[in-house]
Every structure is written in structure tokens, then in C-alpha cells.
Amino acid sequence: MTWVIGIPTMFGYGVLISDVQATVSFPDGKEDFHDVVQKIYPVGEFAMSGFSGDIETGFMFTQALRDFMSSRSKGGWIPDQLAREWGKRAKELYSKLPEEKKRPFSMIIVAVDPIADNGSKGQPKSFVAKLKAPSFEYEASRVHSPLSIGSGNNKQVYLDDLERIHSEPEKLMQMEVGNQFGYAQVLGVVLSYDVFRNPHPGVSKHLQIALVTKNGFQINPLNFNADIGLPHEQKIEMPELVKNWRDFDRKMKKIYKDDKYSWADAIAKG
């Protein structure tokens, strides 16, 4: 359960935004929520990915995508070719999982084309695709049209945000004038405040934002002060995050060591 959003822009970069919450589900239906998981990662030159669904699978497939991208040493990947070919490989890998491990799982890939430009002053062309188990057939997005995965898609106010981004892109695009990455900065602020003011089980109030460019990657926390000047003012700061399944497993074992619930019986979703 999570919310991960990818948006290609006309400004030579792609945007990837994710919450950091893990939902731990027990056999009796009890659910706990922990803001502990980084879900967005560089996976190769000019590309990043994010995941939702089963956390163990998410970490596994993030590494598998990283390995897959590194298998091509010359020329790099054209983004839509990457999504198509990775989809075939991911489908194969998923089909080989034990039946009990074939849990709901989705990925978003955000990339910039190493060759093609978008026709806007020679800016690199950015690309976003989402893939969902078990078929992993990809859906691609047009410029400034967001794609999202996770339980955030069940919250209407979040979907309304994405619809505004899609239908009124000019308002955010103006933020880029004289301010590189201004589009992404304002986008992050808008989504952060809406998630904070409209909480949804499984989606954290803590968000990360990543920019994918031909010059590298940026991953930053969307920290902010909420309700400034009011008695209930809050400082929203990113907690420490785990970045692999081993560390996540260790953290959960520590949390549930003295709890009546057994971590061994739980399923963790992001």
C-alpha cells in the first residue's frame, strides 16, 4: 500500500515521487503502518524506478532491473525499449516465484532518452512507464501526464491532484521560468500538503522526490512545516529509511520482538 507517481516533463527531466510507508498485515486482519521504506532508486544510467505492493518483491525486482540495465554496455537503453524488454524479463522472473510469493506488485520506470530530444530547445526526452504483475505489459505516459501506482489511487482527492496536473499543466510549467526544476519543486509542495491534510491508510505523510536527468539523479525528502503559527504547527521531517530487504527484515524483527504478533506470520506491503 503506497503512492508512487511518475511524470515526464518537457524540461529535459523526469519526476518520481513516493511515500515511504510499509503496511504490515497479520493473519487475523490486524495492520500496522511504519514510515520506514525507501521505494525509489536509480537502476541504471538515465533511469530510476519505484515500486508498490509486496516489499520483498519490490527490492528483489529493483535489483533485477538494475542488473538487466547493466547487461547492455554500449549505447544505453532507449526508454520505451527498456520498458518493453524489461516487461518480458520481469514476467519471466515473476512466473518462477513460488506461488505463495506471487503477491500484488507494480513498478514505475522514469527515464530520459540518451539520444532523442523532445523538440524543446534540444532538451532530452523524458519517459514514464508503469508495469504490473503478472503480465508486466507497460503503459507509457505523455508529457506532463502523471502515472501512479499503489493504494493512493483509491483516494479521490489524490486522483483529483493528478487530474489537475494532467489537465492544467501550464500552471506548474510557469514555475520553471528562470528556475530550473521549479516545476518539480512546486509539484512536490502541492502533493505533500494534500497528503498531509488528507491522510489515507497505507500512504505516509512523508514523501520523497527524485529527478532523473542526463547528468544524474537527485533524491530529496519533501520536508516542510505544516500549519505555521498555529498551536498545532508540525515539522514534517523524513525519518530514517531502510533501502534493502535485509535491513527491513531486521527492523521488523526488532519492532515485533516483544509483541504478541509474530513478524514471521506477517506480509509487508508498500
DSSP characters over 63-78: HHHHHHHHT--SS---
pLDDT in tens, 36-53: 999 999 999 889 999 999
- At residue 2, the 3 state secondary structure works out as coil
Show the DSSP H helices in the chain as ranges.
55-70, 79-95, 156-167, 169-173, 182-197, 245-255
pLDDT, residue 78, reads: 87
Ordered by start, the domain boundaries in the chain are 4-269
DSSP characters over 93-140: HHHTS-GGG---EEEEEEEEEEEEE-SSTTPEEEEEEEEETTT--EEE
pLDDT, residue 75, reads: 60
CATH topology of domain 4-269: Glutamine Phosphoribosylpyrophosphate, subunit 1, domain 1 (3.60.20)
pLDDT in tens, 123-161: 888 999 999 999 999 999 988 899 999 988 888 888 888
Whole-angstrom Cα distance, residue 142 to residue 9?
9
Give me the residues of the chain with pLDDT under 70, please: 1, 73-75, 116-121, 229
pLDDT, residue 166, reads: 81
pLDDT, residue 185, reads: 93
pLDDT, residue 200, reads: 87
**Cα atoms in the 13 Å half-sphere on the side-chain side of 179:** 11
The candidate with the shortest Cα–Cα distance to 270, out of 58, 13, 12, 11, is 58
pLDDT, residue 74, reads: 61
For 49, the enclosing helix (H) or strand (E) is strand 47-53
